[in-house]
Structure 1
Amino acid sequence: MKFSPQLNVRTEYNFQESLIKIKDYISFAKTQNFDFVFYAEKHSMYGVASFYTQAKENNLKPIIGLAIDNPQTNKTTLLYAKNKIGYQNLCFLSTWLMENIFTNFDENFWTIFNQALDGNILISEDEEIIKAYPTLVEQLNIPKISYLAQNEYEHFVVLSAIKNNQTIKEITNVQNEHYFSDQEMQQKYNVDQTAKITNIAASCNLTLFAQIEDYHIANFKTPNNLPSNVFLKQLCHEALMKHFEKNKTTINRQVYLDRLEFELTVVDKMNFNNYFLIVWDYVNFARSQNIVVGPGRGSSAGSLIAFLLEITQIDPIKYDLLFERFLNPERATMPDIDIDFQDDRREEVVEYLFNKYGAYNVATISTFQTIGAKSAIRDVARAYEINLEIVNAITKNIDLIYQNDLAAAIANNSYLQQYEKEYPELFEMGKILIGLPRQTSTHAAGVILADLDLRNILPIKLGHNGIYQTQFDMNFLEALGLIKMDLLGLRNLTTLQMIQNNILRSRQIKIDLSKIDLDLKEVFETLNSGDTSGIFQLESPGMTNVIKKMQVNSIEDMSIVSALFRPGPQDMIDDFIQRKKGKVKKYLIDPTLGDILNPTFGIIVYQEQVIQILQKVANFSLAKADIVRRAMGKKQAQYMEEVKAEFIEQAIKNNYQAEKAEIIWNWIEKFASYGFNKSHSIAYSYISYWLAYFKTKYPAEFYAALLSGVIGNEHKTAQYLNDAKKRGVAIKSPNVANMSFNYNSSQKLLFLPLITIKGIGNEFVRKLRETYEEDKNLFSSIFYFVTRMLSKGLNKNLFKSLVWSGAFDAFKYSRQTLENNLEQIFTFAEFNKNSLVIDTELIPILEPEKDRPEIVSAKEKEVLGFYVSTHPMTMIKHENEKLKPLPIEFIKENQGFTRIIGEIQNIRILKDKNQNDMAFMEIADETDALSVTIFASTFEDVKEKIKLGSVLALDVKIEKYKGKVSASLLKIVKVIK
């Protein structure tokens, strides 16, 4: 059947109100031989840019509009942009509608609606609109199209149920009329409606993405209205003179002066002076507010200007970093200065920009959360009222890699294949839902700063903290002349500031990160010993293993480890280590490349090395070499063929043999896609080093900050507490008198906060603080404490948790005594809770009872999720020291036969290839956990002894393969518990 274009097509961006994905709409229009397509979302314009782009790519004329649904009459009004002015007015109207939840045609609406008529065609079936504009309005019936074909009706009903949080049985009012149909048009439309639609399309000639004349970046106001290039140059030269003063004898001044002059010339020529000043200003603001700013991120660390403005803390000349990797004068791309801020204060920087440049000139960026496979199944299952246990069984079998491809998940899982046969409608609808946007979210880092009201460029909406947000996602911003600046929140910077604050509080020492000695032998000894837990980038077992093998002794070494430890270059790690240790001495592909490759022992680790080799061998400019490097990485075959010939020709002129030039080219090409950005790698290694420095010099303060960041994560908490003990830090239980929300430290002591106790939240601690401010006698006795806190949220369950966590230990009763006398304490508190003064002579005397260590440790684990006083395994090992067990942490470092004592925390029994039973069990002691394989030959003899929670002494065989540790059970020496 031949269809005609429709005016009121709703797509996926009317969240959960349409099944039509834009790509499917465009595909449908192509099959119907449409010349034009209409697009109008209800109140928003989220999908406009994507729709426009896809329509143009398919030679369809996109007609962009906005739909307004009157909630009182359920009638629709459409505005379609005839030109740029009309589009801009739609942006203003959509922004207003998204900001003011539209419930009525009030006075404010009419004002902005009247303005929006300029440059737009008005189409309506709403009598109120028609009455107000008889002369302007195209009076047409406008059926809402929410799915493409009549046979999709049942799917649309399910979508409506999901949208309204109802079951299919409860959806009764959805008519099967929201699809394309000529027959329906004959029934609903006037005879001349098709002609009118064609005329409307002919009248609309909007070009959304015009050729960009200039970028819309905010204007930085310089002092005394100095030209931005003059002010930037002035700032840089002043900073360079200070740098020379600090480094009188160690640097070549002319090299810095030449590099600065070159960079300033490029920046000025590309008209990016303003950009640098804006970034300098908000980084300067952050530093002035004591917000930790990262040392650098990405290629911007290769800029001397960025270093001198303290946008970065990395001297690019010291580390041989390239400006051209950041800003290429032969390739007109925007600079990309990404800045890390401590994550808990990033919003302050965004708010500063909002206040400085204006509400409508600053915006964060929308992203769209789409429905994945698991959530699609859950949504549909609720509509069909399918049992939750079955739903859980289904979703458990959907691997994360198949979140956007349910069909592939089914194809690779026999359980899902069976479930699909049993619940075909569930899986059919689930596949349809996947990829549909569910709601908007906010881009983690991107911020737009424009030199004019953003509503002249694109629609926006109110976002977090009253700051506006683009309705388009990041993919379409640059084409509109908008520049995305990335202000990222980095948790490790927050940790660094907490450490600094902890040291200032506990030792009265103020530490400036930029003044930390980067060559301390003891810091590298910490890393090389494998003590990398809590260290940014270096914490994973694989990375730790590489560091131990390599034995790093500089920031450069740390950077190389980070750059190599990725898929691809990982294969070169062993070669690198052998060369670094001097076991392989001849490794250069050509002796002329020694200056570039000797620091990495003949292996291309960095993208910068690729650029430098291309320049060295073929005399390419660094800018051109970077373009070639990018092409190599993207495998642009045609361009590579052309440039290869040029490379060899130039190399021959530069005294290289043709054969050698060919070998070098092929070798570079192999490594180009592996190479890492050295600027980024060096910068992030600073963060790693700083953390390792604090761990080495101030372990208590380090762990207090680290643990504050993992409150609620029992596994990480237990790991870090155990590590802290190894560094000689004593762990102190929670204490009701310690009303901090974070871990605190003092010299070699670490104090747990109350919120580590299960059931105790920030609100209880706040009430505790308030009560203490009102009554300084709060901690005078357990009886007084309970009496005063009884009306502030303290109940018997919380009391028990506080008892067994050790929070009441300061009251000088054993934990068992307080447990035994709970009723007596609460009876006293109830009786006295309204008394202004409590007679201390009335306080009962409690019968004391000694604590038993095994009960204390078990109860601590129960209420905290980890052990504090004594790990029960420590006591068990002490009692069984004649068995001579080794700590699991230690035996993982060695191979061969060994004995351990541990608790079984997990068991998984399965069949081997011969259909015999075998098992995998997780066994843990106080130091670490180990996965132990029990082969079928052993399983039959030990199956009665391996039970969850049992404590066993085991003989195991430890083996290592590709850095991974595996263990197999030899025999059970003793069942201890």
Structure 2
Amino acid sequence: MLHANFVHLHLHTEYSFLDGACRIDDLVEAASRYKLPALAITDHGNMCGCIEFYKKLMHAAIKPIIGQEVYLAPQSRFDRKGKEVYYHLVLLVRNEKGYKNLVKLSTIAYKEGFYYKPRIDKEVLKEYNDGLIGMSACIRGEISYHLLRGDYDKAKKALLEYLAIFGKENFYLELMRLGLKENEIVNGGLLTLSEELGVPCVATNDCHYINKDDSESHDILLCLQTGKDIDDESRMRFESNELYLRSPEEMEQLFSDHPEAIKNTLEVADRCNLDFHLDEVKVQLPHYDVPEGFSSSDEYLEKLAKEGLKAKYTHIDEKIEERFNHELNVIKKRGLSGYFLIITDLVNFARESGIPVGPGRGSAVGSLVLYSLGVTEIDPLKYGLVFERFLNPERAAMPDVDIDFSDTRRDEVISYIKRKYGEENVSQIITFGTMAARAVVRDVGRVLKIALPEIDRIAKTIPFGISLKEAQEIPEFRNIINEKEEYKKLISLAMRLEGITRHASVHAAGMVVAPHEITEFVPLYRMPDGSFVTQYPMEAIDALGLLKIDILGLRTLTIIKNTIELLKRENKKIDIENIRLDDKKAFNLLSKGMTNGVFQLESEGMKDILRKIKPDSFTDIMAVLALYRPGPLGGLTKDSFIKRKHGKEAINYIHKNLEPILKETYGIILYQEQVMQIASVVAGFSLGEADTLRRAMGKKLPEIMDEKRKAFVEGALRRNYSEEVANRL
């Protein structure tokens, strides 16, 4: 495949919060269209999008170049005087050493240099520059700053300092032609410096959005960042609409008088060769000390799990033993015995400390080993739960264990983790708020100075959880938008910004525990309250193979504990671990929708379903929870389930072999486990392959769904199912 002869080396994604407007998915599409051989990410002051960027570009067969546009303090990063004072400097990663150094620099900027912005200085740059390429950045760069003020000598001095830090072969001067008169002044000086000192130039475009006509929506973004409206003459704005992802041909034409600046972008790209090896199974767990007498974590886990299995089952039949051994083998093969021991230790600490622990939630309850270890209290065999949904041997991803603790004592659990594994090795995890449909309409409307009652009227016609594109199918929304041209403009701009990352916050439950100091693996970010979180979100932490744990604080557990304590005072004892699950009085209350204060069952929508279904078994409660998900609520599943339960609709199975799988849900596919079991029984999928199908369906990944659909139909035909049955399923 022929590639373009140019690479964009200076680019801001949506993770340059309220400044960059390049969605990574859109970038990948544009880069593929332009046949770019590589592309760099250089967000302002953070690396938040680097792993997502890396993964998606690699998937598209485009080389990702990891970088950052850092803020540089003029003197010391510890200076805290005057207004915002800093220069810009672009750093690109050449190799693994460079990546680790950029992680260190990015963290230091937040931990030591934060003053309006996260800043480094030349002192730390001298210490952590190995494996990095430096570039002079935009007109806010130090060299450009002095050139704009006509001080060539200071610009030369600054350049010489950078050459001394990076080495002459690792520093480049950025030429930009963005339609600004300042660019031409700076470019003249940079070219003179280049000739005098033999420093190569690269052509860049300081990309902040993808298409030229995105400049107006980007301007709205800047207004949101600064809290200004569009008519404020004093607000920050870009005096150019040229900061877009120009095509390689445009860049070549723009710099036709300096072809070496175009060619040098390929040279830089060739020198940047960081490989995260994300396609390999990589587990980076903290060390777990096994007791004396055990040679490995595998051996110790097997001992604990076997003891727990015997305690859980009075009779261990062949089915139980086969499932147990299968899980244990997968865990050992994936190098995850330490992970299971760490989770077990954490739960044991909580229980021994009198901290209420939940019975388990999410896919983890599908593990017989976790049930044997006492981490979960749900028998996966009794409820037909599938291990591969929790830990798929065919997919290189870390398992995910969500654990509920009493909300008033969650901090004790977090403190224990920090004491046990080292405070410097543990961190909470970042998450990002995005501009959802309603919110972006309100934001853009305010910037455009549309009256608040009018904005409110429009926003309230948009149901929660749908996109603006989907909202246009709603007559009421469509009619209002057609009333005024300014409303049409509002929605047009809002659609361009919808879904873009707006701000960073702390994940409600996520913790990461690293084998060594956390900043050996991921950079840290400073929150407004002064606390620190990882710059990478959950998905990136998972991709790097680090241990992440969801430690949730659940009020219900506190209420249950307090209730038991109050009953004790009246000499009434309740064993919460062994309460009856067939209490008719309890089901009578549920059937009447009397569920105030009952976890997951107290919303008005949930009460409505309970009154209609009138549950009389524990499996009915499971069905109620599944039916309340957006999918069943939006279709006919809920109504059919209710009618079938009460004998008002016939129960039909697409094929008789599905009856054992779908009997308890009256012939309706309700659970993800049922999807996996059907794929296994009908198409002969392994449970690992069936889990891949389940994930593709849940995440609506069309490429994988199309691939698996074909495999499903072919597998079903091989197993003598008709083509009609296969296609219906």
Specify the alignment match of 2:232 in structure 1.
169
SS of 2:232's partner is: helix
2:504 to 440, 456, 459: 440
Change over 3 Å in CA distance of 1:526–1:102 after alignment to 2? closer
Specify the alignment match of 2:70 in structure 1.
68
Distance 2:500 2:609 in 1: 43
Deviation at 1:231, TM superposition (A): 1.5
Change over 3 Å in CA distance of 1:57–1:630 after alignment to 2? closer
- Report if aligned partners of 2:6, 2:266 keep a CA contact under 8 Å in 1: no
- Report if aligned partners of 2:680, 2:686 keep a CA contact under 8 Å in 1: yes
Listed as ranges, the matches of 1:359-758 within 5 Å are 359-405=423-469, 408=472, 413-418=477-482, 420-422=484-486, 426-462=490-526, 468-504=532-568, 507=570, 509=572, 511-528=574-591, 531-539=594-602, 552-563=615-626, 566-567=632-633, 569-574=637-642, 576-578=644-646, 636-648=708-720, 662=722, 666=725
Superposed CA deviations along residues 3-43 of structure 1, whole A, max 9, x for unmatched, are: 96554333322112234444455555556554433321222
Distance 1:106 1:559 in 2: 48
Change over 3 Å in CA distance of 1:300–1:18 after alignment to 2? closer
Give, as a single letter, the amino acid of the residue that structure 2 aligns with 1:643: G
Distance 1:91 1:302 in 2: 37
Distance 2:683 2:253 in 1: 68
Distance 1:612 1:191 in 2: 60
Specify the alignment match of 1:752 in structure 2.
none
Change over 3 Å in CA distance of 1:387–1:261 after alignment to 2? closer
Change over 3 Å in CA distance of 1:164–1:35 after alignment to 2? same
2:300 aligned with 1:231: yes
Deviation at 1:257, TM superposition (A): 5.3
1:214 to 260, 270, 282: 282
- Report if aligned partners of 1:458, 1:471 keep a CA contact under 8 Å in 2: yes
Distance 1:106 1:541 in 2: 45
Bigger relative contact order, structure 1 or 2, given CA contacts below 8 A and separation 6+? Answer: 2
RMSD: 4.5
Deviation at 1:624, TM superposition (A): 7.2
Change over 3 Å in CA distance of 1:415–1:401 after alignment to 2? farther
2:176 aligned with 1:140: no
SS of 2:510's partner is: strand
Specify the alignment match of 1:89 in structure 2.
101
Give, as a single letter, the amino acid of the residue that structure 1 aligns with 2:589: T
SS of 2:717's partner is: helix
SS of 1:363's partner is: strand
2:74 aligned with 1:78: no
Deviation at 1:460, TM superposition (A): 2.9
SS of 1:169's partner is: coil
Superposed CA deviations along residues 442-465 of structure 1, whole A, max 9, x for unmatched, are: 333333333244433333324599
Specify the alignment match of 1:203 in structure 2.
271
Listed as ranges, the matches of 1:757-836 within 5 Å are none
Distance 2:36 2:693 in 1: 42
SS of 2:499's partner is: coil
Distance 1:106 1:447 in 2: 23
Change over 3 Å in CA distance of 1:183–1:555 after alignment to 2? closer
- Report if aligned partners of 2:364, 2:401 keep a CA contact under 8 Å in 1: yes
- Report if aligned partners of 2:19, 2:222 keep a CA contact under 8 Å in 1: yes
Deviation at 1:67, TM superposition (A): 1.6
Deviation at 1:48, TM superposition (A): 2.0
Distance 1:169 1:51 in 2: 35
Superposed CA deviations along residues 397-451 of structure 1, whole A, max 9, x for unmatched, are: 4443555549837986255324541466545543443333221123333333332
Change over 3 Å in CA distance of 1:590–1:348 after alignment to 2? same
Identity %: 32
Specify the alignment match of 2:42 in structure 1.
40
Distance 2:48 2:211 in 1: 24
2:222 aligned with 1:160: yes
- Report if aligned partners of 1:158, 1:383 keep a CA contact under 8 Å in 2: yes
Specify the alignment match of 1:52 in structure 2.
54
Distance 1:175 1:576 in 2: 62
Deviation at 1:65, TM superposition (A): 1.6
- Report if aligned partners of 2:105, 2:120 keep a CA contact under 8 Å in 1: no
- Report if aligned partners of 1:63, 1:80 keep a CA contact under 8 Å in 2: yes
- Report if aligned partners of 2:430, 2:536 keep a CA contact under 8 Å in 1: yes
- Report if aligned partners of 2:683, 2:712 keep a CA contact under 8 Å in 1: no
Distance 1:605 1:92 in 2: 47
Listed as ranges, the matches of 1:261-410 within 5 Å are 261-319=325-383, 321-324=385-388, 326-327=390-391, 334-405=398-469, 408=472
Give, as a single letter, the amino acid of the residue that structure 1 aligns with 2:128: A
Specify the alignment match of 1:118 in structure 2.
130
Give, as a single letter, the amino acid of the residue that structure 2 aligns with 1:95: T
Change over 3 Å in CA distance of 1:493–1:33 after alignment to 2? same
Deviation at 1:280, TM superposition (A): 0.8
- Report if aligned partners of 2:397, 2:543 keep a CA contact under 8 Å in 1: no
Deviation at 1:378, TM superposition (A): 3.7
Deviation at 1:588, TM superposition (A): 8.4
Distance 2:351 2:107 in 1: 34
Change over 3 Å in CA distance of 1:222–1:428 after alignment to 2? same
Gaps of 5+ in 2: 75-84, 143-154, 177-205, 699-704
Change over 3 Å in CA distance of 1:393–1:309 after alignment to 2? same
Change over 3 Å in CA distance of 1:193–1:312 after alignment to 2? same
TM-score by length of 2: 0.74
Deviation at 1:291, TM superposition (A): 2.8
Greater Cα shift, 621-630 or 639-648: 621-630
- Report if aligned partners of 2:405, 2:551 keep a CA contact under 8 Å in 1: yes
Give, as a single letter, the amino acid of the residue that structure 1 aligns with 2:289: K
Greater Cα shift, 621-630 or 36-45: 621-630
Change over 3 Å in CA distance of 1:283–1:420 after alignment to 2? farther
Deviation at 1:282, TM superposition (A): 1.4
Give, as a single letter, the amino acid of the residue that structure 1 aligns with 2:719: F
Distance 2:328 2:626 in 1: 30
Distance 1:183 1:332 in 2: 39
Specify the alignment match of 1:9 in structure 2.
11
Deviation at 1:332, TM superposition (A): 6.0
Distance 1:266 1:107 in 2: 45
SS of 2:42's partner is: strand
TM-score by length of 1: 0.57
Distance 1:610 1:146 in 2: 43
Give the total of aligned pairs. 647
Distance 2:228 2:620 in 1: 59
Distance 1:474 1:466 in 2: 21
Distance 2:114 2:449 in 1: 33
Give, as a single letter, the amino acid of the residue that structure 2 aligns with 1:641: V
Distance 1:321 1:390 in 2: 50
- Report if aligned partners of 2:427, 2:513 keep a CA contact under 8 Å in 1: yes
- Report if aligned partners of 1:209, 1:479 keep a CA contact under 8 Å in 2: no
Give, as a single letter, the amino acid of the residue that structure 2 aligns with 1:51: F
SS of 1:41's partner is: coil
Superposed CA deviations along residues 257-313 of structure 1, whole A, max 9, x for unmatched, are: 565444434432333221211111112222233332221213332333222221111
Distance 2:662 2:255 in 1: 77
Distance 1:612 1:417 in 2: 47
Gaps of 5+ in 1: 649-660, 672-977
